[in-house]
Structure 1
Amino acid sequence: MQDKLNLMIPGPTPVPENVLSSMSKHPIGHRSSDFQEIVQKTTEQLKWLHQTTADVLTITGSGTAAMEAGIINTLSKGDRVICGNNGKFGERWVKVAKAYGLDVKTVEADWGQPLDPNQFKRILEEDTSETIKAVILTHSETSTGVINDLKTINNEVKSNSKAITIADCVTSLGASNIPMDEWGIDVIASGSQKGYMIPPGLSFVAMSKRAWEFNNQSNLPKFYLDLKQYLKTVNKNSNPFTPAINLYFALEASLKMMQKEGLSNIFTRHSRHQKAIQEGVKAMGLNLFTKEGFGSPAITAVQPKNIDAENIRKAIKNDFDILLAGGQDHLKGKIFRIGHLGFVNDRDIVSVISALESTLDKMGKLEVPIGEGIAKTISVLNNE
């Protein structure tokens, strides 16, 4: 059946019907009072989502634009930084930092393993002259399904240095509790096609007071991503450039949905779905790729035995119209990833586990009696 594809990937994520409907309206002038009202409202909603009184700025661009903006608006050429690298997006941080001439020290972990906060602590303690300006890391490493301990790492930064913390929260914001002000995070980058439940095209940068102090000293080149321009205009409920107007309509609608559900309920839902997926997968005799206890509430990486993971993905897409994500780089064919982020409900969780179990049985690769996986998933959903 056509047009029935169900996205169970870490992004783009499913979009609610009312959010899609909001985008079908005719565009309005981006300098009009009507649009200014939307900017004012969404700015306050974004502060609510980030749990901050700090400035949250909206950029027409992907999550990578927000990541790059976080670097170039706070740092200067030659600055020493620490980049956490335990996956594809940790690698991206390193590449962006080096592209702008930063002096990069990496803290690394094998793909599937979390970053060790003690490694950050040791490097910061050894920097007795406090020349390290920033610690940069990915919170939810989408490529492997790992969630890094952002809170502890940020605490080490604050306790042992004068550096700022710049965090890629693209797949964790809206799925995990990230109280920006309480934790004292300086820069948070995120993107619209994840927990926000809207199509790709908008990204967001939240900047603390301290980050703005760093901004005053920053000499890296910037124009479109110059956040001073965004700050100046957001205070007038506007945008420095022509924004994606219809995506603002979607943003207003999705954030309204999120506020109605409530932050604690959103986090509980994602945690519940994560556990249901993980337990169902393990009950089928499959291995989780991520270290126990460090799985992301946004996505679960699965490492099948004695079968190409790409064949599983293809079969599930062909037979059930459910799209899963594959492994990246050296993990291609070795893992597949199940997204459970954003506009996902219990039916989606039951469907994807049922499809996976049926597919393995059809392939003759199911090592347990059929039904054990979905039974475990349903048990978790009914009792959590």
Structure 2
Amino acid sequence: MKTQLQKRLADLAFPQLRLLAPGPHGLSPAVTRVLREYTADYTHRAPEFKTCYSRTVELLRELFHIPDVYVPLVFGHTGSYNWEMVAVNTPSDFRTLGVDIGSFSKRWAQVFSDRGRQIDVVHADWGQGIPPNRLTEEMRNGYDLVLLIQNETSTGVALDIESLCDAIRSVNPDAYIGIDAVSIAGATDVDIGRIQPDYYLWSLQKDFSIPTIGSVMIVSDRAADLARTVTDRGYVLDLVEWLTRAESSQTPMTVADLTLRCITARLEEMKAEGPARFDRHRRIAELHHSWAKTRGLSLLAEPGFESPTVSAISLPYGITGPQLTARARVHLNAQIAPGYGATADGYIRIAAMGTTTVKEIEQFLDGLGLILDNWEELS
């Protein structure tokens, strides 16, 4: 017979497994419909493919405020490939500056280093951000290319990329800027025409709520011109070839029309929700924060740098991230994540991505609190 506690937890459990970890995130309703109904109706060189590709690009331009001097590219590979694409398609003698504010941000710099490129890195302790004045100082060292991350998934830290781009250009107006937006693209209102990055890239399995079947990179015309000056661009990562094929709504290597259909469905879903989706993400993140504060717990992110899509929350003494993650799976049918790397034991990470609602997060946090309050009884 179930105890009263077990009944309360059962009432708060999701009927189907909910992915509330930073990624891959749960599928959105529109994406789920595409996957359920998909049939292979045409080849990747058919006119229908071009129509599908064109619609995807049209929606990307609309929702991300992309001017004509930029080209959105859709790939069949994950976003990590695009780190290397930037390295391959920029001059080897470019002085490059990267950032390290967590486990994932430093990997882009590592890609450059592994390719024999000179790259300096701005470091911040986990949980800390990088203010604009720090980049202003660094830029006085004469960098040609700066690689930023908008949202660090391992720590729940978000950077103010608009202010950082302004800081970079205040010293070198001609500097090229790359932005990795893998765990935030779609959750905040990004105006490409305002921030003017040269490369803005993300994967699909985070806020886009699509399986890991592709990625997107928005590329400036001047980045395209720069790539044309580079020899040995390779085959798969040749940016010039991708841009050339995009002019006719095509790709040099096969990108599944399923990827395009999923992106289009998700973008139409975002468009239908309108600006309310930004408020929803913000409200969910605030729920994470207030829940933690009420329990005497803290965020890993320092004030002013809290992510709207990932919250890394400290845990009470004697309870580890893997333990609480496991109990959330058993009792609430929800998958969250422990902290990452050195923070794995002391933190959990909860996402505010996709079409997750405020009500669902309220339900989940009530259940998570119940687990913490009755930790010994549930042991």
Of 311, 316, 319, the residue aligned with 2:323 is 311
Q: How many angstroms apart in 1 are the aligned matches of 2:251 and 2:291?
A: 46
Structure 2 portions without partners, runs of 5+: 1-12
Q: CA deviation at 1:364?
A: 5.2
Is 2:110 the partner of 1:95?
yes
Report the counterpart of residue 187 of structure 2 in structure 1: 175
* 1:45-82 deviations in Å (ceiling 9; x for gaps): 11123211210000111121222223322x12242111
Q: How many angstroms apart in 2 are the aligned matches of 1:356 and 1:176?
A: 27
Is 2:140 the partner of 1:107?
no
Q: Is the 8 A contact 2:17 2:335 kept in 1?
A: yes
Report the counterpart of residue 177 of structure 2 in structure 1: 165
Cα root mean square deviation, aligned: 1.8
SS in 2 for 1:55: strand
Q: Is the 8 A contact 1:87 1:143 kept in 2?
A: yes
The code of the aligned residue for 2:58 comes to E
Is 2:86 the partner of 1:70?
yes
Q: CA deviation at 1:21?
A: 2.2
Of 20, 28, 41, the residue aligned with 2:55 is 41
Is 2:38 the partner of 1:25?
yes
Report the counterpart of residue 372 of structure 1 in structure 2: none
Report the counterpart of residue 296 of structure 1 in structure 2: 307
Q: How many angstroms apart in 2 are the aligned matches of 1:95 and 1:294?
A: 24
Q: How many angstroms apart in 1 are the aligned matches of 2:15 and 2:113?
A: 42
Q: Is the 8 A contact 2:322 2:337 kept in 1?
A: no
Q: Percent identity of the aligned residues? A: 25
Q: CA deviation at 1:3?
A: 8.1
Report the counterpart of residue 137 of structure 1 in structure 2: 148
Q: How many angstroms apart in 1 are the aligned matches of 2:237 and 2:59?
A: 22
Structure 1 portions without partners, runs of 5+: 366-384
Q: Is the 8 A contact 1:186 1:211 kept in 2?
A: yes
Q: How many angstroms apart in 1 are the aligned matches of 2:223 and 2:277?
A: 28
Report the counterpart of residue 163 of structure 2 in structure 1: 152
Q: How many angstroms apart in 2 are the aligned matches of 1:222 and 1:321?
A: 45
Q: How many angstroms apart in 2 are the aligned matches of 1:363 and 1:104?
A: 47
How many residues are aligned here? Answer: 359
* 1:267-297 deviations in Å (ceiling 9; x for gaps): 1111111112211221122111111121111
Q: Is the 8 A contact 2:14 2:334 kept in 1?
A: no
Distance 1:174 1:36, change over 3 A: same
Q: Is the 8 A contact 2:14 2:332 kept in 1?
A: no
Q: CA deviation at 1:16?
A: 2.3
* 1:92-128 deviations in Å (ceiling 9; x for gaps): 112111122221111010011102322221121243x
* Normalised TM-score (structure 2): 0.90
Distance 1:100 1:76, change over 3 A: farther
Q: Report 1:1-384 matches (<5 A).
A: 4-23=16-35, 24-27=37-40, 28-53=42-67, 54-73=70-89, 75-127=90-142, 132-161=143-172, 162-219=174-231, 221-262=233-274, 264-306=275-317, 307-363=319-375
The code of the aligned residue for 2:283 comes to R
Q: Is the 8 A contact 2:150 2:180 kept in 1?
A: yes
Q: How many angstroms apart in 2 are the aligned matches of 1:184 and 1:249?
A: 27
Q: Is the 8 A contact 1:77 1:219 kept in 2?
A: no
* Normalised TM-score (structure 1): 0.89
SS in 1 for 2:120: strand
The code of the aligned residue for 1:154 comes to C
SS in 1 for 2:119: strand
Q: CA deviation at 1:2?
A: 11
* 1:309-345 deviations in Å (ceiling 9; x for gaps): 2211111111111111122221121211001111211
Q: Is the 8 A contact 1:189 1:205 kept in 2?
A: yes
**Once superposed, which parts of structure 1, at least 4 consecutive aligned residues long, lie more than 6 Å away?**
none
* 1:192-222 deviations in Å (ceiling 9; x for gaps): 1112221111111101122223222234643
